[in-house]
């Protein structure tokens, strides 16, 4: 397979458009939202008008007719400035809308995708539970079919769910145990639960270390009733479905992490050229130059990794190992670059008014969300035949 990752004219135009939006619209405003722990509705609305939430979806469902590479390019450029905005897009597309597109019926696609693609509505994916994180097969939320009413009755809880409690959240796709196999292991299915359904409660936003301008909440379900037709995909195939969604999502998270890592380079290069110590810019010191060179090396390598995984996905090739490698490497170097950027900024790097402080706070979750670094290593080992 060719590893030529040069962008087409269309992809490069998209990248430049999102870069300009990030620099001119997001960068001047997002710090205030972040400090107030406030969701940036106006910025998200503009992202919807640009078509970013519909990038990888066909035009017949309200999308832009693009591909997964286009989405990842947008995520990288947004994350160079701010990760809260980037994760809102990532989760809205790869976790909110993508399950409907991949596994939904034609009726479900036409009901939900146009509003999800326009950004008028956000979707969320309810997977993680208080006692069930990396062990997603240990799901305890249940959905029982009520034959008299033709409804699913859902009980349980979910935690750390992005985009689940905004004013424009329209649905949460929930994984739930709907039966048992002959060996007693659970049959997990995915079911669409519209916002506002009786018994579906959204908790107050978490107090988080980072991603403070994004929405993350705990959800609870108490005898929540939804029509049987809200089953997403084949009953009992929910586990396999979300594994596919997570494989794709890891490429997107890798692009986001690469953007954060590159943003650390951008901010540090600018600072090193203007900050003076002992009568000269600190960038004249070889110690700073070497830090910057290493930071750029990491970001560049991470970009190659996620683009390789995205290319394999687009060509219909196996990409599980490459996605895990990209997510593992880019998330870990994002943390390293954020730490180094903070060090270069010195005391100012510890002040929230500087973007690198926000990047430092935002970086750690990248080693945890959508599969921890330990899970990625496990996946790579399995693909090598030793797991």
CATH code of domain 9-122:
1.10.540.10
Residue 161 main-chain phi, psi, to 5 deg: -95, 115
What single DSSP character describes residue 211? -
Coil/strand/helix, residue 140: coil
- For the chain, state the CA radius of gyration: 21
Coil/strand/helix, residue 154: strand
Across 157-173, average pLDDT? 97
Confidence of residue 3 (pLDDT cuts 50, 70, 90): low
**Of the ranges 48-62, 84-98, 122-136, 310-324, which one carries the lowest mean pLDDT score?**
122-136
pLDDT at residue 298 is higher than 60? yes
CATH number (3.30.310.50, 1.20.140.10, 1.10.3720.10, 1.10.357.10) of 240-383 reads 1.20.140.10
In the chain, domain spans: 9-122, 124-235, 240-383
370 labelled catalytic: yes
CA-wise closest residue to 221 among 311, 140, 287, 326? 140
Catalytic residue among 106, 151, 370, 383: 370
322-381 pLDDT, tens per residue? 999 999 999 999 999 999 999 999 999 999 989 999 999 999 999 999 999 999 999 999
Distance CA 108, CA 97 (A): 11
pLDDT at residue 136 is higher than 70? no
Strands (DSSP E) found in 168-319: 169-180, 186-194, 200-202, 216-227, 231-232, 276-277, 280-281
CATH 3.30.420.40 fits 124-235, yes or no: no
Sign, CA dihedral 243-247-253-254, equals positive
115-131 pLDDT, tens per residue? 999 999 999 999 999 88
Write the CB contacts of 286 (distance below 8 Å, at least 6 apart in sequence).
none
For the packed helices 41-50 and 9-21, what is the interaxial angle rounded to 10 degrees?
160
Helix-, strand-, coil-residue percentages of the chain, each rounded to 5? 55, 15, 25
Look at residue 138 in the predicted model and tell me its pLDDT: 83
Residue 108 main-chain phi, psi, to 5 deg: -65, -40
Residue 177 main-chain phi, psi, to 5 deg: -80, 120
Mean pLDDT of the chain: 95
Q: What percent of the chain has pLDDT over 90?
A: 92
Look at residue 254 in the predicted model and tell me its pLDDT: 98
Place of tokens 């402080």: 357
CA-wise closest residue to 40 among 72, 78, 88, 77? 88
199-211 pLDDT, tens per residue? 999 999 999 999 9
């Amino acid at each position: 397979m060719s590893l030529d990752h040069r962008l087409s004219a269309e992809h490069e135009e998209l990248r430049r458009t999102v870069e300009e939006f990030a620099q001119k619209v997001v960068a001047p405003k997002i710090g205030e939202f972040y400090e107030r722990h406030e969701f940036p509705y106006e910025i998200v609305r503009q992202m919807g008008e640009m078509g970013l939430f519909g990038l990888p979806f066909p035009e017949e469902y309200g999308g832009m007719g693009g591909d997964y590479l286009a989405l990842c390019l947008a995520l990288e450029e947004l994350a160079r400035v701010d990760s809260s905005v980037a994760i809102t897009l990532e989760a809205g597309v790869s976790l909110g809308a993508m399950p409907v597109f991949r596994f939904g019926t034609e009726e479900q696609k036409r009901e939900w995708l146009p509003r999800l693609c326009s950004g008028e509505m956000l979707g969320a994916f309810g997977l993680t539970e208080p006692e069930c994180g990396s062990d997603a097969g240990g799901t305890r939320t249940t959905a029982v079919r009520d034959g008299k009413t033709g409804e699913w009755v859902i009980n349980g809880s979910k935690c750390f769910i992005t985009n689940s409690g905004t004013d424009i959240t329209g649905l949460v796709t929930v994984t739930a145990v709907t039966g048992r196999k002959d060996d007693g292991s659970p049959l997990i299915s995915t079911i669409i639960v519209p916002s506002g359904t009786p018994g579906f409660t959204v908790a107050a936003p978490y107090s988080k270390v980072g991603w403070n301008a994004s929405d993350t909440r705990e959800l609870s379900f108490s005898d929540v009733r939804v029509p049987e037709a809200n089953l997403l995909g084949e009953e009992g195939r929910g586990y396999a479905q979300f594994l596919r969604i997570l494989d794709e999502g890891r490429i997107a998270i890798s692009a986001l992490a690469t953007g954060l890592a590159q943003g650390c380079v951008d901010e540090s290069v600018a600072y090193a050229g203007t900050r003076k110590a002992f009568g000269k810019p600190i960038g004249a010191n070889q110690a700073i130059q070497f830090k910057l060179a290493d930071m750029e090396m990491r970001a560049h390598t991470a970009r190659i990794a996620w683009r390789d995984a995205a290319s394999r996905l687009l060509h219909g090739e196996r990409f599980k190992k490459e996605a895990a490698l990209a997510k593992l490497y880019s998330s870990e170097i994002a943390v390293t670059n954020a730490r180094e950027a903070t060090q270069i900024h010195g005391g100012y790097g510890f002040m929230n008014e500087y973007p690198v402080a926000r990047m430092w706070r935002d970086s750690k979750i990248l080693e945890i969300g959508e599969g921890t670094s330990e899970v990625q290593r496990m996946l790579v080992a399995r693909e090598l035949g030793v797991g």
